[in-house]
């Protein structure tokens, strides 16, 4: 029997950090299944499908009109019973 792994979507505008997050969190030992990534909030809102994303990891400071906090608020409205979000900064 194959175990279903929770799905992960990463939003990060720094390419090196995005790659590191995808590799670390998508590693078999973390038990996440990587389903997508974007460098800013707009494509993330379009790319997150409520029925398939369990966790969204986003940077606090994103380029564009929306930061990570606003993105997580909008995703929570869009997917109230499904997606959890973690916002990070450095």
* pLDDT at residue 89, rounded to an integer: 66
Task: Enter the CATH code of domain 7-88.
Answer: 3.40.50.2300
Residues of the chain whose pLDDT is less than 50? none
- Residue 36: φ, ψ to 5°: 175, 165
* pLDDT at residue 63, rounded to an integer: 84
pTM greater than the 0.95 cutoff = no
Average pLDDT, the chain: 83
């Amino acid at each position: 029997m194959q175990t279903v792994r929770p799905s992960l979507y990463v939003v990060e505008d720094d390419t090196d950090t995005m790659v590191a997050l995808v590799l670390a969190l998508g590693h078999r030992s973390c038990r996440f299944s990587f389903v997508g990534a974007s460098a800013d909030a707009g494509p993330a809102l379009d790319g997150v499908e409520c029925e398939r994303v369990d966790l969204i990891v986003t940077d606090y400071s994103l380029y564009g009109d929306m930061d990570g906090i606003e993105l997580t608020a909008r995703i929570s409205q869009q997917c109230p019973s499904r997606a959890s979000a973690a916002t990070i900064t450095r």
